[in-house]
Structure 1
Amino acid sequence: MFLSSPLVSPPEGKFFLKSLIALDAGGTSVRAALLAGDGTVRSVAVGGRANPVSSGRKVAFESVLDTVTRATSERTLIDEGLDSITICSAGGSEFLRDGWLAKEFHHAGFTMPVHLRSDILAAYCSGAVELDGYGLVSGTGAAAVRVRAGEIVAVADGMGWLLGDEGSGFQIGQAVARAVVADLDRRGPATALTAALTELLDIEVDPRAGHEGRVRTLLNLSDVLFGWSPIELARLTPLAFEFPHDEAAREIVAGAQQRLGTTLTAVLDPHSPGPVVLGGSVLTRQPAMSAPVVEAMTAAGFPADLRTVGDGLVGAAVVALRAAGTDVDDAVHRRLTEGVARFRV
């Protein structure tokens, strides 16, 4: 069970800090931090894909377990082990079915409590100590949340590549691929994205007719893209922002902006103002994508208090510490931020 304060006294009378693991688990990678109960970051490890929906829960758990093991492997754990593991995960509900996650950790020798929370809550807490506010994430997927008293009370999107993730890296990358296919298939306008994509993927450009009269360039491209998993289309996202004067690229970016604005608006409460924390590679690497956020906040009468975070590891640590009874104030948040930064490469 969780201890109620950062310092506790074992039977022999010696004092020690609690030892916690916090993880920010996403569709591209998972990051883990080994923490003391006062917010001191003792180690950080990074692993592979950890979204149980897009990657399958077996693959996702293997990434999580490997990352936890590496985060703790060269450290002497305080007490006789970890007090808890907190995973802030995209698609985390898949982990919970049939008590699967707890069973897998138990089989791996981790018998302490394991807690599963939202990766978007972690993103929010990475950028804000305030207990009330909003988070908007657009990376491989996309979603928005309203946070009140440190908990998510409303969410929009985050429905995965098949049913939602509007304005996400997947959606933008898929739109790029579709625009290029339409160009090569003579169903859409010519676009600079075509040459850029074929060059990026080292596709042989061959305008001759191939099987059933299809342009061979299109056949070569489809062979490559059909070999990818759907979410890998997010790799094509940067192309949409490289051609601001190209009609197809402009429409893709404008559509993604509109969709993210709509998603954020769905959770805004005019009676509950607060900061908006932006996370995910689409929002953090493409400044143009924050425009609809400002518009949505202005329409709701909020001041445009925007904060950008690179990932949710600091926030995952905040969530873990708060669950363990630690009061995360500005000083603790700063300690976490600086501690994680020391381990970044």
Structure 2
Amino acid sequence: MKVLVGADIGGTKLALRTTTPDGTVRVDVEIPSTGWEAAPVDQAARWLLDRVRPVLPEDDEIAALGVGAQGCDTQEHCAHLAAAFEALGVSAAVVNDAALLVPAAGLTDGIGVIAGTGSIAVGACAEGTVLFAGGWGWVLGDEGSAPAIVREAAKAALAAHDKRRPDDGLLSELLAHYGVADAPALARAVNDTPTPATWGPAAPAVFRAAASGSASALAVIDDAATHLTALVSRLRARGAVGETVVAAGSVVLGQPLLAARLRERLGSAHPDLTLRLLDVPPVAGAVALARARYGLAGVA
């Protein structure tokens, strides 16, 4: 049976969904994305197909593949990866994972914003050129992502400690998360293993501190929302079209405070834009890409 395959490759997980051409879901699974690298493209294509084929029911044949992938940060890279799939006999359309949000929402244009393991915004101009802002990694940026929120929170808590200011709740929440006793131990805990897997899971501690009244934590969250809004502003300045910002990612969807602050800042900076929190998995957008690649755009 010919099937359409959608793949959403993020920083921690790979979501796979396959459907028949009439829309019947055949497979809907998530597995770790351990080992994913967007380059070199021939290895990336094989990596994904090595994970798609084992989950397909027997006798299912890939008619078209839609891919949204972290690390595919230019239009040229996406085209090269699509060509690598074609070289392996699979018709494919490839975009950055943030570019899945707009089609997943059932829209033809708009700006997608991801705030999860990383952060990035993706849109397109009227001529169809894909535009990117952010996505530079948590060491350099990715403001609004889980690791970056923790990075900024740790810096704020340690700076307050240096100034001998009373802990307003942020430091104690971070100490509790990492299971350490004091500020120097916190610095060692976050620096000894500087990876998103070490930093990202502490993000809920920052939001707990904010909910308990920590002004420091709230300032970090407000700054994250401001930076995410700035990504949208950069894209609009470069000609991105659409009236909707579609947001997804574990932080913005899992933490209502960040979503509320983002909505406020977008409303102030761009009153004509509407923020929509994606209420379906982004992999639905990958399936939409596969449908279009197969020539079924608009078919229910």
TM category, shorter: 0.7 to 0.9
Q: Partner residue of 2:103?
A: 125
* 2:2 is aligned with 1:36: no
Q: Which of 267, 281, 284 is matched with 1:314 structurally?
A: 284
What's the CA shift string for 1:64-116, capped at 9, x where partnerless?
456414421xx1234xx32333321011259959x68977998xxx6423442
* 2:248 is aligned with 1:279: yes
SS of alignment partner, residue 235 of structure 2: coil
Task: Give 1:46's aligned amino acid.
Answer: E
* 2:67 is aligned with 1:87: yes
Q: Partner residue of 1:325?
A: 295
Q: Which of 196, 202, 208 is matched with 1:242 structurally?
A: 208
| TM superposition shift of 1:163 | 3.2
CA distance in 2, matches of 1:105, 1:186: 59
Q: Which of 134, 139, 150 is matched with 1:173 structurally?
A: 150
| TM superposition shift of 1:281 | 1.5
* 2:224 is aligned with 1:259: no
- For the 8 Å contact 2:253–2:277, the answer to whether it is kept is no
SS of alignment partner, residue 267 of structure 1: helix
- Go from structure 1 to structure 2 and tell me whether the alpha carbon gap of 1:306 and 1:91 turns closer, same or farther (over 3 Å shift): same
- For the 8 Å contact 1:137–1:278, the answer to whether it is kept is yes
CA distance in 1, matches of 2:95, 2:221: 31
| TM superposition shift of 1:241 | 1.6
| Structure 2: stretches of 5+ with no match in the other structure | none
User: What is the TM-score normalised by the length of structure 2?
Assistant: 0.80
| TM superposition shift of 1:51 | 8.1
User: What is the TM-score normalised by the length of structure 1?
Assistant: 0.71
Q: How well do the aligned residues superpose, as a CA RMSD in angstroms?
A: 3.7
CA distance in 2, matches of 1:55, 1:231: 20
Q: Partner residue of 2:31?
A: 47
SS of alignment partner, residue 309 of structure 1: coil
Q: Partner residue of 2:185?
A: 220
CA distance in 2, matches of 1:271, 1:91: 21
- For the 8 Å contact 1:89–1:118, the answer to whether it is kept is yes
Q: Percent identity?
A: 22
| TM superposition shift of 1:20 | 2.5
CA distance in 1, matches of 2:157, 2:42: 34
Q: Partner residue of 1:211?
A: none
- For the 8 Å contact 1:87–1:316, the answer to whether it is kept is yes
- Go from structure 1 to structure 2 and tell me whether the alpha carbon gap of 1:56 and 1:82 turns closer, same or farther (over 3 Å shift): closer
- For the 8 Å contact 1:31–1:67, the answer to whether it is kept is no
- For the 8 Å contact 2:133–2:235, the answer to whether it is kept is yes
- Go from structure 1 to structure 2 and tell me whether the alpha carbon gap of 1:238 and 1:153 turns closer, same or farther (over 3 Å shift): same
- Aligned length, in residue pairs: 294
